[in-house]
Every structure is written in structure tokens, then in C-alpha cells.
Amino acid sequence: MRSDLMKKGLEKAPHRSLFKAMGLTDEEICRPMVGIANSANELIPGHIHLDRIVEAVKAGIRMAGG
């Protein structure tokens, strides 16, 4: 998977150590990593709800094994 490019192999040990410093377990590091972009802010009324949507997206990704 594409996220393996930043976490597999001897040369990526520093990356894995940073993930561990963030509190990720070995099992979590082995899962696919999915980035979520969020443009929530308080200036644009139509964007205020995006934080709640992002939390639901993150929960769905975790439930699917990511």
C-alpha cells in the first residue's frame, strides 16, 4: 500500500519512532494510513459543521481497518 513508502524498511525507522512518540502502537502503524483534509473554520458559516463530519470520517476509517 502507498502508506508503506513512509513506514517500511530500515531507512524509515525515524518515521516509525515519531509515530510511536505520537502514541501509535505497532498494530496501528501497520494499518493503512489515510490523510483527511479539513477546512473547518469559524469565519465561513457553511464550514462550521465540518469538524463533526471529520470525526465521523475518522471513525469510519478506523472501523474499516485504516
pLDDT in tens, 12-62: 999 999 999 999 999 999 999 999 999 999 899 999 899 999 999 999 999
Number of domains the chain is built from:
2
Same domain, 56 and 66: yes
> How far apart, in whole angstroms, are the C-alpha atoms of residue 41 and residue 51?
9
Same domain, 21 and 40: no
Same domain, 13 and 40: no
Same domain, 43 and 29: no
User: Do residues 19 and 7 touch, judged by C-beta distance below 8 A?
Assistant: yes
Same domain, 17 and 38: no
Cα 36 → chain centroid = 7
The residue segments making up the domain with residue 6 are 1-33
Its pTM stands at: 0.69
